[in-house]
Amino acid sequence: MKQTQELKLVLKNDVINGFSYSFSKTILEKLKEVVRDDRMFKNTYSSRRLTDIANTLVSHLYQQLCFYSSSFNVNDEKTIKELIAVAEEFLAIFEKK
């Protein structure tokens, strides 16, 4: 038997001031999957960079959350972990307990 879990949201319509909970949550979950599967970074001959999918996910999540780290360096694992932590805490605001 397949179990499903219904998420009850405070938001009645999904977009508030350009912010979309469902879009942000989907992006966050995919970003966590990319991190877990060690697909976040690629090494080039001169540096380490985000993979294309990681770059796209991080960019959209930054835009949705208006998240700007004072030590902004997306090639730093610490910054990515900070972004994920902030996103989880922020999105929890919109989830009914």
27 within a domain of the structure (yes/no): yes
* Res. 44: pLDDT tops 90: no
Give the residue among 70, 75, 77, 60 at the shortest CA–CA distance from 24.
60
Q: What is the pLDDT of residue 87?
A: 95
Q: What are the structure tokens assigned to 72, written together?
A: 């902004």
Q: What is the pTM of this model?
A: 0.77
Total domain count, the chain = 1
Contact assessment for residue 9 and residue 95, using Cβ atoms and an 8 Å cutoff: yes
* Tens-place pLDDT, residues 60-70: 998 898 876 55
| Residue 3 counted as domain residue | no
Average pLDDT over residues 72-78: 75
Burial of 64 (0-12, 13-18, 19+ CB in 10 A): buried
Residue showing tokens 């991190």: 35
Range with the lowest mean pLDDT among 5-9, 49-53, 91-95? 5-9
Please report whether residue 4 resides in a domain. Answer: no
